[in-house]
């Protein structure tokens, strides 16, 4: 009912966010900022971008992921949990998850998302998490990540055990 009273443009934004989040945002401005990449600010028209929210979202994502792994793998040691968290929230995985949940349709950026090795979508996902945290709090962030993001990973066991961190593997080999 609340959405029907909005203008067409605002209604579209709320409905798109609702389809991604699973709830109606309290303050849509945070979410709009989360989906605004710094490349969209040019010349005299300066828009607020998502970098500060990305910083906050990264910290919340790390916390929720650590809590999730700690509970799911109760018999594993600290080293396994640290590597697993790294595998779960690496840039490539965040980009992939952001596209799977539909953030690519909502991001405001100037040409960057299509560049090779761009992490714009993963950064937007972190910014979205920051927006959720400011708007609704930690419990909503946790629920969003568990229900909407981590659920996109069909085999969580193989994801956390995959080892694409070649730098760490090289260092470990050198130390042996």
pLDDT digits over 97-127, tens only?
999 998 888 877 655 545 544 788 999 999 9
| pLDDT reported for residue 1 | 46
Residue 137's pLDDT band (cuts 50, 70, 90): very high
Among 18-22, 36-40, 153-157, the least confident range? 36-40
| pLDDT reported for residue 61 | 97
Distance CA 111, CA 78 (A): 40
Distance CA 126, CA 58 (A): 5
Mean pLDDT over the full length of the chain: 80
Share of the chain above pLDDT 90, in %: 35
- 3-class secondary structure, 154: coil
Distance CA 16, CA 14 (A): 5
Positions marked active-site: 58, 126
Among 95-104, 142-151, 158-167, the least confident range? 158-167
> Angle, to 10 degrees, between the axis of helix 51-72 and the axis of helix 78-88?
140
């Amino acid at each position: 009912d609340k959405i029907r009273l909005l203008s067409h443009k605002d209604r579209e934004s709320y409905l798109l966010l609702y389809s991604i989040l699973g709830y109606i945002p309290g303050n849509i401005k945070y979410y709009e900022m989360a989906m605004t990449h710094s490349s969209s600010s040019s010349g005299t028209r300066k828009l607020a971008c998502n970098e500060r929210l990305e910083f906050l979202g990264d910290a919340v994502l790390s916390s929720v992921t650590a809590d999730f792994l700690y509970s799911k793998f109760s018999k594993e040691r600290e080293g396994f949990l640290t590597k697993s968290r790294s595998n779960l929230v690496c840039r490539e995985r965040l980009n992939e998850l952001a596209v799977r949940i539909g953030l690519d349709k909502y991001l405001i950026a100037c040409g960057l998302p299509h560049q090779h090795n761009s992490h714009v979508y993963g950064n937007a996902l972190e910014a979205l998490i920051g927006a959720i945290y400011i708007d609704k709090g930690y419990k909503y962030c946790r629920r969003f990540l568990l229900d909407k993001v981590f659920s996109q990973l069909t085999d969580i066991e193989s994801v956390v055990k995959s080892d694409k961190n070649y730098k760490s593997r090289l260092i470990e080999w050198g130390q042996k």
